[in-house]
């Protein structure tokens, strides 16, 4: 029976406390609420977070074996230029695979998951990676600003070494306009909360779950964990009652700690459930958004083989507070900031160059000299090793999954940055190779010559007038 073979998640490092938001814009009339939410760094977006979750998920898996990649999101950076294609490039997947973007509502993640299941079920395609990721911008001063968070999850679907079989599913689909955003708009609109709670969440999630129970002749008591997102804590509990479930069966909402991460929400919660699950556990996950997909899994004994630190839990220990609401707005480009005339310098991006160099740029692939064994980045035709110099004796060599050491660094107040000082340094890779990289998710005084680093896929720049979001890898300190 096919199902989930690997799982992963990604929560960005920053948290902003709801109190900070309320102190800044509470004058507009929102209510204070507890907890905090996850906030992407200035160099992160839907695509970069999806890559991070995918890397967490694919730990130990050969990239060459992935035959498909689906992305579920409501916030794709591009409306035209396949976002899952960029993710596939970053992961250095083979070109002869299926890729698709599932967009339009917050059940896009489970939609992608069900399609991936259909692809592997027949046996035609093995190993399809599902990424669900959302970077949720809410209008400053509104209620959604407190609730929406950023994050991603990734699940590998396959037929071998399945850790949770996908036993069944039941979907309901409605044109339910509780929230909407036209293609040209920056912010979502929302209808009245009562409508969303009463006609939406508390009706549709139970409708999908009851439909599933009836279809497979199951009882709610059969399930170890029931996973569903809800923007309203009271209704989250009310749904449990309506289902006839015990509170102990309900997977903890991510709202107080990470926020509601849209398409990623149900799958991030599923990953959290899998991190604690035991063989034999049955798990239901139901999404929400223009209806609901309810899916039920059965955990196998293979789950114990993947207890290697993957998943969402580790991000709790790594979080850092973003104490400035103004920075939060600036990072998300909600307000226009003055980064000086130096910040206006904006050379064009050559698309033919980008495509030709896609392995260099997206995959962080260099070359290794077959004669002397020296890895080098970027790819060279003539070996960089002084007494080698072999010509055209190279093989591809992936650097994105290599650890490194920070050889030297600086924090630059002159370079244009939305978050000065701009930090960068020279990284020496384990096994060989060295190059300049921007540094991220760190403070200047945390940096030390010789500290271990790893590579992370980030949005390098946005060329607004030309509509280009350009991605590349940065180095970040390896957490202890």
Partner 1 sequence: MAEGIKNKVAIIGMGCTKFGELWDKGSEDLMVDAFKEAIDDAGIEKKDIQAAWLGSHFEEQNIGKGATALAQALKLQFIPVTRTENFCASGSEALRGACYAVASGACDIALALGVEKLKDTGYGGLPGSPNLMGTKNRLIGANMTAPGAFAMLATRYFAQYGLSPEEGKTMLAKVSAKSHHNGALNPKAHLRREVSVEQIMNAPIVAWPLGLFDCCGVSDGSAAAIVTRADMAKKFRADPVYVKALQIAVSSGEELMYTDWDGAHVETTVRAAARAYEEAGIKNPREEISMAEVHDCFSITEAVTMEDLQFSPRGKVKEDIDAGRFNLDGEQPIQTDGGLKCFGHPIGASGLRMMYEMYKQLQGKAGERQVKDPKFGVTHNLGGFPAMNVISMFIVGL
Which spans of this chain sit near partner 1 (rule: CB under 8 A)?
340-342, 345-347, 349-350, 353-354, 357, 360-361, 374, 376-378, 380, 384-386, 407-417, 421-422, 424-426, 428, 432-438, 444, 449-450, 460, 470, 472
Annotate 156-177 with b (16+ C-beta within 10 A) or e (fewer): bbbeeebbbbbbbbbbbeeebe
Q: Based on CB atoms, which residue is closest to partner 1, 176 or 471?
A: 471
Instruction: Output the smallest distance, CB 109 to partner 1, in A.
Output: 30
Half-sphere exposure of 195 (CA within 13 A, CB side): 7
Sign of the C-alpha dihedral computed for residues 152, 157, 163 and 169 taken in this order: positive
> Measuring CA to CA, which residue among 59, 287, 222 is closest to residue 156?
59
Q: Give 210 or 407: the residue with its C-beta nearer to partner 1.
A: 407
Closest contact distance (angstroms) between CB of 92 and partner 1 is: 15
- Calpha distance 433→428 (Å, rounded): 6
Instruction: Return the closest-CA partner of residue 453 out of 413, 426, 418, 471.
Output: 426
Give the nearer residue to partner 1 in terms of CB position, either 143 or 372: 372
Instruction: Provide, rounded to whole angstroms, the least separation between the CB of residue 385 and partner 1.
Output: 6
Q: How many residues does the chain have?
A: 480
Nearer to partner 1, 118 or 428 (CB): 428
> Contact, 463 vs 447, CB < 8 A?
no
Q: Which is nearer to partner 1, 80 or 347 (CB)?
A: 347
Please give the C-alpha separations between residue 63 and each of 8, 58, 69, 306, in angstroms, as whole numbers. Answer: 15, 8, 11, 17
Q: What is the distance of C-alpha 419 from the center of its chain? A: 22
8 Å CB contact between 113 and 163:
no
User: What's the min distance (Å) between Cβ of 414 and partner 1?
Assistant: 5
Least distance between partner 1 and beta carbon 346 (Å): 7
Distances (CA, A) of 183 to 74, 77, 123, 189, 368: 11, 11, 36, 12, 44
Place of tokens 């990239």: 63
CB of 137 to partner 1, least distance (A): 24
Q: Cβ closer to partner 1: 319 or 398?
A: 398
Nearer to partner 1, 298 or 376 (CB): 376
Residue closer to partner 1, measured from CB, 11 or 427: 427
């Amino acid at each position: 029976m096919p199902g989930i073979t690997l799982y992963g998640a990604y929560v960005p490092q920053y948290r902003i406390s709801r109190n900070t938001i309320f102190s800044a814009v509470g004058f507009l009339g929102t209510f204070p609420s507890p907890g905090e939410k996850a906030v992407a760094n200035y160099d992160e977006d839907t695509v970069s977070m999806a890559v991070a979750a995918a890397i967490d998920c694919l730990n130990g898996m050969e990239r060459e074996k992935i035959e498909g990649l689906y992305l579920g999101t409501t916030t794709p950076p591009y409306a035209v230029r396949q976002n899952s294609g960029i993710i596939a490039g970053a992961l250095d997947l083979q070109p002869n695979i299926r890729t698709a973007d599932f967009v339009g509502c917050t059940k896009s993640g489970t939609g992608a998951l069900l399609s991936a299941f259909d692809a592997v079920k027949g046996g035609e395609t093995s190993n399809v990676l599902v990424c669900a990721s959302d970077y949720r911008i809410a209008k400053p001063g509104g209620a959604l600003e407190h609730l929406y968070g950023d994050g991603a999850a990734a699940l590998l679907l396959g037929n071998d070494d399945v850790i949770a079989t996908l036993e069944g599913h039941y979907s309901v689909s409605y044109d339910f306009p509780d929230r909407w955003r036209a293609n040209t708009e920056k912010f979502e609109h929302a209808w009245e909360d009562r409508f969303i709670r009463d006609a939406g969440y508390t009706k549709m999630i139970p409708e999908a779950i009851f439909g599933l129970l009836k279809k497979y002749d199951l009882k709610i008591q059969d399930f170890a964990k029931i996973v569903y997102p809800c923007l309203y804590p009271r209704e989250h509990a009310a749904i449990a009652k309506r289902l006839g479930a015990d509170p102990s069966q309900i997977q903890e909402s991510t709202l107080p700690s990470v926020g509601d991460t849209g398409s990623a929400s149900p799958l991030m919660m599923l990953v959290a459930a899998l991190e604690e699950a035991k063989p034999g556990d049955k798990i239901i996950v139901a999404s929400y958004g223009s209806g609901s997909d309810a899916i039920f899994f059965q955990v196998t004994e293979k789950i114990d083989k993947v207890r290697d630190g993957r998943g969402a839990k580790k991000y709790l220990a790594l979080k850092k507070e973003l104490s400035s609401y103004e920075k939060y707005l600036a990072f998300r480009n909600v307000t226009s900031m003055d980064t000086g005339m130096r910040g206006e310098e904006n050379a064009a991006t050559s698309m033919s160059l980008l495509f030709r160099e896609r392995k260099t740029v997206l995959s962080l692939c260099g070359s290794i000299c077959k004669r002397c064994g020296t890895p080098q980045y970027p790819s060279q035709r003539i070996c960089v090793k002084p007494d080698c110099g072999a010509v055209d004796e190279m093989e591809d060599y992936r650097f994105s999954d290599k650890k490194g050491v920070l050889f030297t660094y600086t924090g630059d107040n002159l370079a244009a940055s939305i978050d000065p000082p701009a930090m960068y340094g020279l990284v020496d890779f384990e096994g060989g190779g060295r190059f300049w990289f921007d540094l991220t998710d760190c403070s200047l005084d945390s940096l030390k010559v010789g500290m271990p680093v790893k590579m992370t896929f980030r949005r390098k720049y946005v060329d607004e007038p030309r509509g280009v979001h350009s991605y590349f890898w940065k180095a970040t300190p390896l957490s202890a």
